[in-house]
Structure 1
């Protein structure tokens, strides 16, 4: 119970960027914070490491995992491929119950957007896209897709921040429902196009976020291609 509570709380803080990439996670400090021994703290950190959210270094120190901005284009390339193939398969193989589940999850995402709850937004977005993957009936492709969606949740939170401050973009759109309709109609080609457009929109908005961040941060002297938090990992 203790380790699960620590895991859940730290995971929430990492995903929402309350704990910044590269931040140190000291077991003694965490033990004092949560009022428990170091054993459940260590167990929680091991689980977070397995999730790719923390890095446990050889000197026994632990850091919040950096976000690899240099690898973002390759990440989007992989995401686009898996999003398209899983959506195509869903359009081919879906059952009526799959459509009902997608509609429920699309509504959950909308509700999270209206509540401005980023954690619920990224979780419900993942659940929606995984419902599509599961409708495709290929568990191997679905598993790989889920791993990419999990890996990108912190990037998605930065993406949400940018959209919230934008005067032209909106978090709420018809994208999810358009995808559902194409899948319902078993229109494989349209489902493919919509899935690709969805990934491209994510890519373009995140690149706009990076450009805006660079323009606004006058103390930012290092290139954007470096890993966020890399300097902290050398300490």
Structure 2
């Protein structure tokens, strides 16, 4: 399974504190996106500090940072928890997703550089390989990287934070879409791969309207399966939005 966890070399002593803090951040993000840590799960600061050789203050600082990013939730006098996924949060996700994906993709078609488009093509190659290799975690993570890259290509500092927050729940919900359960879902996964190619083509042609139309179709394709099939522990899936 592909991971983004930074290896720690403790050879003749521990790695610098910042390296260990970065490793903890990468590990927590991966555990949350992969659903290894379920929505609403409590996070033990003491255990995490011991696991990564850190004192409590940098762990608390990281928790505040990740709460600002949307990965976890903090409340007074309670342990930090993985961001929940309930009726309200999922309803808000499905309402916001089309708006944000369309906006960022249309702007990417207007502002992306050739180097950025080339980078998007490389990510798409990795995504296609993950789909063909039948590795669910890699499918989810490469899809996340694909849409994040488009968000950066939009060159809009107001939209990118919203997209990053959206991608957290997209990754968690997407584990169902990227693990097909029947022939129809297999077919739709192949369709999603082609839609990525069509998005790249529209961006490269500077056709913002076409790019927006394709990504809207792409979002709706995934939405049907996410809403119908996703039932991870801790999640209550609304029937209608």
Match in the other structure for 1:202: 222
Instruction: Determine helix, strand or coil for the equivalent of 1:121.
Output: helix
Would you say the 8 A contact 1:91–1:188 is kept in 2? yes
Equivalent residue number for residue 48 of structure 2: 30
Aligned positions of 1:14-163 closer than 5 A: 14-34=32-52, 36-161=54-179, 163=180
Q: Give 1:231's aligned residue.
A: none
Q: 2:202 aligns with which of 182, 196, 218?
A: 182
What are the Cα deviations for residues 106-146 of structure 1, in whole angstroms up to 9, with x where unaligned?
A: 11212233444444433322332233334344343344323
What is the distance in 2 between the residues matched to 1:130 and 1:159? 18
In 2, Cα distance between the equivalents of 1:56 and 1:223? 21
Q: Distance in 2 between matches of 1:186 and 1:36?
A: 48
User: Which runs of 5 or more residues in structure 2 are unaligned?
Assistant: 1-18
Q: When the two structures are aligned, how many residues end up with a matched partner?
A: 216
Equivalent residues of 2:87, 2:236 under 8 A apart: no
What is the CA–CA distance in structure 2 between the aligned matches of 1:136 and 1:91, rounded to whole Å?
Answer: 8
Q: 1-side partners of 2:45 and 2:113: how far apart?
A: 48
After superposition, where does 1:213-228 map in structure 2 within 5 Å?
213=231, 224-225=237-238
Tell me how large the CA RMSD over aligned residues is.
2.9
In the alignment, the residues of structure 2 paired with residue 39 and residue 223 of structure 1 have an alpha-carbon distance, to the nearest angstrom, of 34
**1:166 corresponds to 2:182:** yes
Unaligned runs of 5+ in 1: 226-235
* TM-score normalised to structure 2 length: 0.75
Question: Which of the pair has the greater relative contact order for Cα pairs under 8 Å at 6+ separation?
Answer: 1
TM-score (norm 1): 0.76
